[in-house]
A and B are shown apart, each in its own frame.
Chain A
Amino acid sequence: MRNRIRTVGVVLATVALLAVTGAACGSDGGSTGATGSTGTKPKATLTIYTDQHADLIAALTKAYTAKTGVKFDIQNDATVGQIQAEGKASKADVFLSEDPGPAAQLGAAGLLSKVDAATLKQVRPGLSSAKGLWVAYAARSRVLYYNPTIISERSLPKTLADIIKPVYKGKFAWAPSGAFVATTQYLIETEGLAKTKTFLEGIKANGVNEHKNGNVRDTVEAGKHAMGLSNHYYWWVLASQKGGPTKLTSRIYHFPTVDPGNLILSSGAGILASSKHQAEAQAFLAWLTAADGGQHLIATASADVAEAQYPIAPGVVSKISGDLGDVKSPRFDMDELADSTQAENLLKELGMAS
């Protein structure tokens, strides 16, 4: 018995010691170091709440720290719900969303202060909040993946609406992701509830729900489905993991004309109205959206960092996924995505919600 107590004690002590030393290393290693800091007065630390790809935010903030000395505290996988639960005590200065929804939702809740007009002007038109509550800093587009061993490019639907035709029955995968909800909300706003319902019923009857955009990509690549509705960057991420686009069997397809199937969705940057660092936050957003600032990094970073997301400053082109200007997306007010209740209710009614 005494032996056993001693063993337990030794193990606990060892692990505790490891933990203490580790926690110490953890805090050095984790914080975005201020290597470039040369200023005399201590710079503010900006607290970023984000649900973007963690590596992209880490790279962007690190580059900004190197340039200005401003340090960052980062909350990854942040949600609007967390900020609301924190209430007045929220430490968030800036929210960097992945999809437009959360940024629009914060704006609609009156939690954001306006972004500087000069910053908004640095971005291609139509991508940021029309009210100026948040600014786009990256973008993704909806696409169709296809597997050429099963279906040829010329047999693909010419518009998203065609995918519910009988010839495509059982031929494609889809996923009820946030981007799918956004597409649904867009269709309701532009084409009305009845037409959207018919379209969704067609998707349900013709397609296979693979639950996640990543699964849509993987099942099309594996040849389980001929086509799949997803977002552009998942394909480029897989391509880079496999050693280049030529290593993949599947291909990316953009619908040839302006089409909801090419819908562009912005990643939005907003400044919390409660932030005590308004000026510093505005300066960060100005850099984030500048062609020679954050945009350059997004355009040139490898796929495992920037995930082949599109830069949004005019003239800046992703070295992986190309020019956002080539994507034929309809323009719409993404602030409308603050409330997707109609889409939510319709998808639930049809049993298509996740």
Chain B
Amino acid sequence: MAHRERRFGRAATALGAFAVAALSLTPVVYLFVSGSSLGQVRAELHYPATVAAIWQTIGLTVLVSGITVAFGVGGALVVARTTVVLPRMLTVLFALPLAVPGFVSAYAAYAAQLVFFPRSNLVTGFVGASMVLSLTLYPYVFLPCIVALRTIDPALEEVTASLRPQRLARFRHVVLPALRPAIGAGVLIVALHVIAEYGAMVQLGRSTLTTKVMAEMLDYGDYGTARSLSLVLAALSAIVLAVTWRITATNTPGVVSHGSRRPARFVSLGRWRVPVAVASLVVPLAAIGPTALMTTRGLTDPNRQLAVDWSSVGAAFSTTAGYAVAAAFVATVLAFPVSWWVTRRPNRLSQITERLVWLAHAIPSAILALALVFLATRAAPSFYKTPSVLVMAYVILFLPLAVAYQRVGLVNSRQVYDDVAASLGSGPIRRFLRVSFPLALPGFAAGAILVALDASKELTTTLMLLPFNANTLSSKLWATTNGESLDFTAAAPYALMLVLLGVVPVFLLVRHALRHVEPRVD
């Protein structure tokens, strides 16, 4: 009986996961259905600028991934593994850039450059642009690393230390391997963001494959070429998925000690406790500084003639929050079969299914939106231009975030505990509700929060699928740009609300991470 039940459960999970993966792949399928061709891709590759854009995309992806790992891992080590002063406050500040949409920080960095260094190319060069992008993206590496650092068994480090007394051996042989899954998940999110980014890239003067795809649509009205170039983007993303799979694929860190876990070992900073804190403050301040500065300047501009219509700001605020919460809820439910299957039955099939979910994340969101327009007007015309299609778009876009964080949660809630409960006669549903789920809850919550956060910042898909006459904070913010430069005088109230709205989920996320950070004395 129990055996048959289990087999049924497994089949249902697998079927559910397949269905979710199929849903995620709809935009990719659309690329083929509505016409794209390798011939067109070849024709585009004939232009040196297209090839240059591919290299530019790869270069930015690699450099930004590298910088975000440095900032993310470095920041996590400082707050979670040293005796630095005020580690909790540092953690909050390090996570804060998550609250600011990427295109807003890029516009702010550009505007600040014009104000303070008008003749320089500080943020519009390759390295400068990479830096601006990295500063908005590193929290995706930072947060999982904090959690991962905490799960390392200190006994393992002691064993290594006794065998290899060199200073770095402990880091190389214990800490780094334990961080690999967190780094892999973080880099995946970062790299796919870089590949699909549009608004920030244009403002920072970068010509990437995504900006090419968007130019085909917006400047030339050439949708066929846009779809064909998106195939190249999908291929690039497949490479990223494979590479990060290699980073992530590692044995779960061993556990040497038994019983309850001891606190981790800390690096004692001595009189460097304050200087290190000050030095690491540079990262979050550089990340949020330009946005905070330009927003404040905008709100206090003496020439400001516009009266802020706070009721429309408020309406956009609650519409944004509503869509974001709905997306988080649906994504959490849909991600579950995928994350459960891949953690409990990590075989080739479940792993490939999990990777497929990510593919949609790397396609320019304008293409994804067109795919949903195409599908919704044919399959469910009465839902088109209602919030449900937009929420579905958010779910497809950000489902991978939910899957990734649920996986982390489910790994923490080990199968053994479930088995122990089973041996004591507990049924599967009861076991899930009493054992697995509560233990995995932090991961589920973090995933849902990240989905809500990214949904509330999303722009491109929102513009196309938003119900008639409705507005989100991003769409209102965008409306002040005249499609060109963000005018921080008119945009400031929306930027402010968007950041305030983002601070709530960031606070919730950090609260979860903060349990792994406590102040220490030397």
Contact = CB atoms under 8 A, between A and B. Distances in A.
A85 B118 CA distance: 42
Interface stretch (B87-95, B281-289, B370-378): B370-378
A30 B469 contact: yes
Given A84-B223, A86-B377, A241-B303, A53 B315 contact: no
A351 to B, nearest CB: 4
Contact of A53 (B48, B306, B482): B482
B325 A74 contact: no
Interface stretch (B5-13, B249-257, B316-324, B399-407): B316-324
A66 to B, nearest CB: 16
A293 B60 CA distance: 50
Nearest to B202: A211
Interface string B466-477: 001111000100
Given A25-B314, A85-B377, A224 B118 contact: yes
Interface string A68-89: 0000111111011110111101
Contacts of A89: 377-378, 381, 384
A55 B325 contact: no
Interface in A212-237: 212-215, 217-219, 222-224, 234, 237
Contacts of A242: 303
B468 A75 contact: yes
A1 B353 CA distance: 32
A266 interface: no
Given A8-B445, A19-B325, A22-B315, A351 B469 contact: no
B202 A340 contact: no
Interface residues of B, number: 75
A29 interface: yes
B74 interface: no
B373 to A, nearest CB: 4
Contact of B315 (A30, A74, A213, A304): A30
Contacts of A341: 220, 222
A87 B508 contact: no
A25 B309 CA distance: 14
A268 interface: no
A261 interface: no
A340 B374 contact: no
B278 to A, nearest CB: 32
A156 interface: no
B303 A22 contact: no
Contacts of A86: 373-374, 377, 384
Given A1-B438, A73-B469, A211-B205, A80 B221 contact: yes
A18 interface: yes
Contacts of A304: 306, 490
Interface stretch (A129-137, A173-181, A252-260): A173-181
Interface string A1-37: 1001100100110011011111101110111100000
Given A18-B321, A307-B482, A77 B464 contact: yes
A221 B40 CA distance: 41
Given A89-B378, A340-B220, A354-B211, A19 B469 contact: no
Given A73-B469, A353-B49, A22 B217 contact: no
Contacts of A81: 217, 221, 223, 226, 370
Contacts of A212: 202-203, 484-485
A270 interface: no
Given A81-B223, A218-B114, A354-B202, A22 B484 contact: no
A353 B219 CA distance: 9
A224 B119 CA distance: 5
Contacts of A353: 49, 212, 215, 219
Q: Output the residue of A81, A214, A217 with the most chain B CB within 10 A.
A: A81
B367 to A, nearest CB: 9
A97 to B, nearest CB: 11
A321 interface: no
A90 interface: yes
A113 interface: no
A155 B508 CA distance: 60
Nearest to A28: B315
B222 A344 contact: yes
A241 B211 CA distance: 29
B482 A351 contact: no
Interface in A263-299: none
A349 B47 contact: yes
A31 B469 contact: yes
Contacts of B203: 211-212, 215
Contact of A344 (B211, B220, B312): B220
B277 interface: no
B482 A29 contact: no
B373 A82 contact: yes
Nearest to A4: B441
B471 A30 contact: yes
A105 interface: yes
B463 interface: yes
B57 interface: no
Contacts of B217: 79, 81
B428 to A, nearest CB: 21
B193 interface: no
A328 interface: no
B489 interface: yes
B218 interface: yes
B487 interface: yes
A348 interface: yes
B468 A74 contact: yes
A90 B464 CA distance: 13
B317 A22 contact: yes
Contacts of A74: 468-469
Interface in B343-391: 370-371, 373-374, 377-378, 381, 384-385, 387
B319 A23 contact: yes
A91 interface: yes
Nearest to B301: A241
A241 B488 CA distance: 10
Interface string A138-162: 0000000000000000000000000
A16 B318 contact: no
B41 to A, nearest CB: 14
B120 to A, nearest CB: 8
A254 B50 CA distance: 35
Contacts of B374: 85-87
Contact of A222 (B114, B303, B445): B114
A72 B322 CA distance: 24
B311 interface: yes
A231 to B, nearest CB: 9
Interface string B436-473: 00100110010000000000000000011000111100
B521 interface: no
A42 interface: no
A241 B226 CA distance: 36
Nearest to A51: B483
B479 interface: yes
A20 B322 contact: yes
Interface in B213-243: 215, 217-223, 226
Nearest to A53: B482
A39 interface: no
Contact of B221 (A77, A105, A213): A105
The 7 closest A-B pairs by CB, nearest first: A22-B318, A19-B322, A214-B484, A222-B118, A214-B485, A73-B468, A89-B377
7 contacts: A15-B321, A18-B322, A29-B311, A89-B384, A234-B484, A340-B221, A351-B47
Given A18-B318, A224-B118, A354-B212, 9 more contacts: A26-B316, A47-B468, A54-B479, A75-B468, A85-B371, A181-B220, A215-B484, A340-B220, A351-B47
